Amino acid sequence: MERILKEVLDTNRKYVNYGQVASYIPELKNAHRDDLGICIIDKDNNVYKVGDCETKFTIQSISKTIVLAMALMDNDWIDVFSKVGMEPSGDPFNSIMKLETNDTKKPCNPMINAGAIVTTSLIKGATPQEKEERMLKFFRRLAKNDNIGINYDVYESEKVSGDRNRAMAYLLKNDGFIDGDVEEVLDLYFKQCSLEIDAVDLARIGMNLASYGIDVENGERLISERVSRMVKTFMVTCGMYDASGEFAIKVGIPAKSGVGGGIMASVPNSMGIGVYGPSLDKKGNSVAGVKILEDLSKKLNLNIF
């Protein structure tokens, strides 16, 4: 397996030159465009790594999958889906447009920023601190890594440059899709995006989703089967932003990307894959990361369709 991973990494290294690191959140500019790493964790708990698997980066939009799972575990599903939809938007992840033009004004799905801000607002806790602690604990548990924490430089940077998210959140409050203090919700959203992880953490979380919420190491149930199924379904339909359709055709694996350069993929009953490559295409997906997953899907016969 390691030989295949190395081959796939080497063949696709050239694609890092076809993109740029994210710069709209100033702190993300510090990433190294050439970094590239792949980690696979399979159902027998074998861990395979090549390239920059220990390099830390922020989870960004990949956090939306985990916060969705939390929102579904904390609330009645009817309540969750009365506030966020189930349809791909076809628009960029940070688009505000459909909050006005949709009949219901409801965010299309929980994988775009507007929908994710809603799911973040649904995390339970008596105080903002308690919500943050619960969130952190859940991420650490799913990744089996107690060292996961917030990168405060990225968090500050998100906060000062996050006016588009702020505008959406106020609109969502005005239209009754979020309750309570908007700044508090945004604060938690910026924190979840700023969690620092590596490719191994992504592979581990991907494997936990692939196993329908059961920890493959000790058999512990982390997420219910139905919730893990729902999260993977959203990953297929909306996980790669407005490139999700093309990704489903070419790769055929539930996956979620983030502007930090990560992609988490989850092959049902088989493996979790974490890819890191901060050079992004125009839609915000890791250029080399997408190519790597395309090759892995072919070589290892992973297409779920």
**Binding site for substrate: which residues?**
61, 113, 158, 165, 189, 241, 259
Q: Smallest gap, in angstroms, from Cβ of residue 69 to ligand GLN?
A: 17
SS3 132: helix
DSSP string for 92-125: -TT--THHHHSSS---S-TTSHHHHHHHHHT---
Answer yes or no: 64 catalytic: yes
Among 55, 75, 94, 224, binds ligand GLN (CB under 6 A): 94
Which sign does the torsion angle of CA 11, 280, 196, 252 carry? negative
Are 270 and 42 in contact, with CB atoms under 8 Å apart? yes
277 binds ligand GLN (CB under 6 A): no
Please count the helices (runs of H) and the strands (runs of E) in the chain. 13, 8
| Phi, psi (rounded to 5 degrees) for 37 | -150, 150
120 binds ligand GLN (CB under 6 A): no
- Report the alpha-carbon distance of residue 276 to residue 34 in Å, rounded: 10
Given its phi and psi angles, is residue 90 left (phi above 0), alpha (psi -120 to 50 degrees) or beta?
Answer: left
Among 88, 107, 252, 284, binds ligand GLN (CB under 6 A): 284
Which position among 61, 157, 244, 270 bears the catalytic label? 61
Closer to ligand GLN by Cβ: residue 67 or 251: 67
158 binds ligand GLN (CB under 6 A): yes
Q: Smallest gap, in angstroms, from Cβ of residue 243 to ligand GLN?
A: 12
211 binds ligand GLN (CB under 6 A): no
Answer yes or no: 170 catalytic: no
Q: Smallest gap, in angstroms, from Cβ of residue 183 to ligand GLN?
A: 15
- Report the alpha-carbon distance of residue 198 to residue 200 in Å, rounded: 5
Site map for ligand GLN, 31-60, x if CB under 6 A?
Answer: -----------------------------x
Q: Smallest gap, in angstroms, from Cβ of residue 8 to ligand GLN?
A: 24
Q: Smallest gap, in angstroms, from Cβ of residue 48 to ligand GLN?
A: 26
Closer to ligand GLN by Cβ: residue 117 or 203: 117
CA angle 141, 144, 148 (to 5 degrees): 80
- In which residue are the tokens 């779920």 written? 304
Closer to ligand GLN by Cβ: residue 29 or 226: 29
Answer yes or no: 276 catalytic: no
| Phi, psi (rounded to 5 degrees) for 39 | -130, 135
CA 298 to chain centre: 23
Q: Smallest gap, in angstroms, from Cβ of residue 96 to ligand GLN?
A: 12
Burial class (CB in 10 A: 0-12, 13-18, 19+), 26: middle
Answer yes or no: 105 catalytic: no
Answer yes or no: 48 catalytic: no
228 binds ligand GLN (CB under 6 A): no
Closer to ligand GLN by Cβ: residue 93 or 234: 93
102 binds ligand GLN (CB under 6 A): no
Which position among 231, 259, 267, 287 bears the catalytic label? 259
- 207's CB contacts (< 8 A; 6+ apart) are 41, 42, 43, 216, 266, 271, 272
Among 42, 52, 53, 61, binds ligand GLN (CB under 6 A): 61
Instruction: At 292, list the tokens.
Output: 């790597």
Question: Which residues have a catalytic role annotated?
Answer: 61, 64, 189, 241, 259
Q: Residues in the site for ligand GLN, rule: CB under 6 A?
A: 60-61, 93-94, 113, 158, 165, 193, 258-259, 284
